[in-house]
Amino acid sequence: MQHGEDDLNEQKEDVQNQIDATNSEIAGVKSKMTDQLNQITRLNSQIGDYESEISNLEAQLNSLNTEIAEKEKSIAEKEKSYQENKDLLAKRLVAMYKTSKTSYLDVLFSSKDLSDFISKYYLIEKLTEHDTEMLEQISNEKAAIENEKATLETSKNEVASAKETLQTKKDALDVTKAEKQNVVNNLSAEEKELEQQLEEFEKHKKEIEAEIAELAEKNRKNNSNNNVTINPSDSGFICPIAGKSKKNITTGYYGYSGHTGVDFAVPGGTPILAAKAGTVYKSEAKKSNGVYVSYGEHIIIDHHDGTITLYAHGMPGSRLVQKGDTVSQGQQIMSVGTTGNSTGYHLHFEIWVNGSRVNPTPYLP
């Protein structure tokens, strides 16, 4: 009898999980998504990827161009030094040739006394050392110039390759945007309204990405410019919903196009906990014209170990922490709601490592 009840309870839980999964977000319009809107969501994600790749390539080009300018300056300075030393040595050799009738031995034997002999010997020794050092310096400078020129050529080849790749990405972006516009042109009035919500959500996500990238870069500089290696199994996170675990995730990472975290569908008002100790980087209610949009009530926490977490769609006015607050692991920071682009009570949870989103599931107990 007990076994039968367990099976029924398990089936009931599975059904409830399926119901809860529909109460997740897809820009607040999951249940109304048409084929065209699903296609736009896919194209938005593709456009975002292209734009990110283009941004990275442009940053790479800027870095390479700066590196090339520095190398060209360094080469010019080395060539100037090389030429000066070469000219100096040439004059020295000419002077030695003109006075070749007088040998170092003659100079030594012309000494008036022992003290004069030692002075002249020391002077000759220093002149010989100087000539040898100058020859070595000229040789080293020439080798350094050749090496830098070779490296410069490599950098210029990388620039040419990056420019070619950049143009390919820009062409692909233009094609994708044109494809999206064709779909948008055929949307109904209701679909166009929903599509605007999608656009608003994508715009806000890019703002969040830029902010977190800036924070991650600042943290990297504070850690000697090194990325921190985070092993998911040793990350030390707890589930942001008490009594839950990764098994209770109702919509997984990229469970649908554009979904950048995991969802826990739970009753409204359920406490949301800090998954790890840290400092509140952002605590905001995202609104447009007085109406909740995008992530709605959301919080971002910097854990100072290369990881950052985001908690979204909280209940109106339920945020208990503000920017700059220090939070401990397990501390309540907000309550579950459905503000912003959401179709039911749930927590949208994201983990970022070294400025990039990761699948939160392996990091959770």
Specify the residue for token string 């952002």. 282
Whether 336 contacts 268, CB under 8 Å: yes
More confident residue, 209 or 254: 209
Whether 62 contacts 101, CB under 8 Å: no
Confidence at 262, pLDDT banded by 50, 70, 90:
very high
| pLDDT greater than 60 at residue 96 | no
d(CA 284, CA 287): 9
More confident residue, 95 or 247: 247
> Can you tell me the mean pLDDT for 275-303?
95
What pLDDT, on the 0 to 100 scale, is given for residue 28?
45
Pairing of strands 271-273, 332-335: antiparallel
For the CA atoms of the chain, what is the radius of gyration?
34
What pLDDT, on the 0 to 100 scale, is given for residue 21?
45
Confidence at 155, pLDDT banded by 50, 70, 90:
confident
Q: Give the residue from 264, 223, 257, 218 showing the smallest Cα distance to 361.
A: 264
How many CA atoms within 13 Å lie on the side-chain side of 343?
Answer: 18
Specify the residue for token string 């442009």. 58
| pLDDT greater than 90 at residue 135 | no
What pLDDT, on the 0 to 100 scale, is given for residue 23?
43
Q: Give the residue from 107, 321, 141, 306 showing the smallest Cα distance to 215.
A: 306
d(CA 179, CA 174): 9
d(CA 91, CA 114): 31
Token readout for 361 is 């599931």
More confident residue, 116 or 294: 294
> Can you tell me the mean pLDDT for 34-59?
84
What pLDDT, on the 0 to 100 scale, is given for residue 95?
60
What single-letter DSSP state applies at residue 303? -
d(CA 176, CA 204): 21
Whether 278 contacts 330, CB under 8 Å: no
d(CA 260, CA 238): 19
| pLDDT greater than 70 at residue 211 | yes
More confident residue, 309 or 22: 309
Token readout for 306 is 């290369």
Token readout for 129 is 């050392």
Query: For all residues of the chain together, what is the average pLDDT?
Result: 80
